Homo-oligomer: A and B are copies of this chain.
Amino acid sequence: MEIALQEIARNLDRADSLILTGHIHPDGDSLGSMLALYAHLAAAGKNVELLLDDELPALYSFLPGFEQIRRPDGSRRKADWLVVLDASDAERIAGVREAVDAPILNIDHHISNTKYADFWYIDSKAAATGEIIYDLLRLMDAAVTPDIAVCLYTAIATDCGFFRYANTTSATLRYAADLIELGAEPSVISEYLETKPLKSITTLTQVLATLETYENGKIAAITIPPELVDDGSETTEGFINYPRNIEGVEIAIMFRPTEAGTRISFRSRDADVSQLALSFGGGGHVRAAGCTVAGDFSTAKERILEAAVKLLAESGQ
């Protein structure tokens, strides 16, 4: 059932015990939103816990409270609410659903949200779930501490490509301005997010060497060589911007073969790649989406490229 943000504020105020989670393959928006809301609820004296059923990218370990996030351990927990942030479908919270006995309250900004929760608030005009959490904290008369500001600034900035993606609105920049006044330092946050080990330059060079183009340069793809995968996915996350920024490229694809299948990221100029991702069981936004395809890599690659060519044709490119 859809509910208003005011009602969510009231429900959280009244609750005693809460479990917060985000989506698997966690990003800055998911983690920053979780940690910001956690900081306020913990300060308000609630019994609150952070659960996430995936590995956490070390890239975000600078976020205050990061070390409080746990993976489900097989035991089953009861709570007044399971608050699910930034996850657009039930599969994206994975094992957390089974691990928690509580009604689900979902706060999200993905237009592809499947409305799987018991209660949901979805604002697809928000550039990030972090924007909604900031509004929620204001409705709850929360003290937005510098730590919370850092979490929300990271949530917002990472989900709009540091204010470069099409989802960036004047409201997005005004949220960010507020958060700077509340203690977030843009250059400190971006340094944490951009600082990379020396080795990552070698990796980048190897990955760029895999660049392939299709359909007269309208599709460009790169592949993370399997031997590099163990380095941690955070070092390769932004690599898709290289094919994406090539003149004439409409759809950019990054393949990341793993033992559990091939993880695929999509970026586009105009074509709706969330459709593409959805058709393979993934999700995301119109111009940035992702999915995982089981089975061997070359078959997965072939299927994805075929679907991308089809999408290109359908979108009249």
Contacts and interface: CB of A to CB of B under 8 A. Distances in A.
The listed residue with most B CB atoms (<10 A of its CB), out of A162, A166, A187, is A187
A173 B162 contact: no
A177 interface: yes
A126 B162 CA distance: 20
Contact of A201 (B165, B166, B174, B246): B246
A180 B167 CA distance: 12
Contact of A196 (B169, B174, B245): B245
Interface stretch (A99-107, A140-148, A209-217): A209-217
A197 interface: yes
Given A198-B213, A217-B198, A164 B180 contact: no
B205 A208 contact: yes
The listed residue with most B CB atoms (<10 A of its CB), out of A190, A209, A241, is A190
A42 interface: no
Specify how many copies of this chain sit in the oligomer: 2
Interface residues of A, number: 44
B173 A180 contact: yes
Contacts of A21: none
Given A173-B176, A173-B180, A208-B204, A168 B187 contact: yes
B194 A245 contact: yes
Contacts of A194: 164, 241, 245
A181 interface: yes
A119 interface: no
A273 to B, nearest CB: 15
A247 interface: yes
Given A162-B164, A166-B187, A168-B187, A247 B197 contact: yes
A247 B269 CA distance: 32
Contacts of A185: 166
Nearest to A242: B201
A186 interface: yes
Interface in A242-284: 242, 245-248, 269
B187 A165 contact: yes
Nearest to A222: B201
Given A162-B162, A174-B174, A201-B211, 12 more contacts: A157-B163, A164-B190, A168-B186, A168-B187, A170-B180, A170-B181, A171-B177, A174-B177, A191-B269, A195-B245, A195-B247, A205-B205
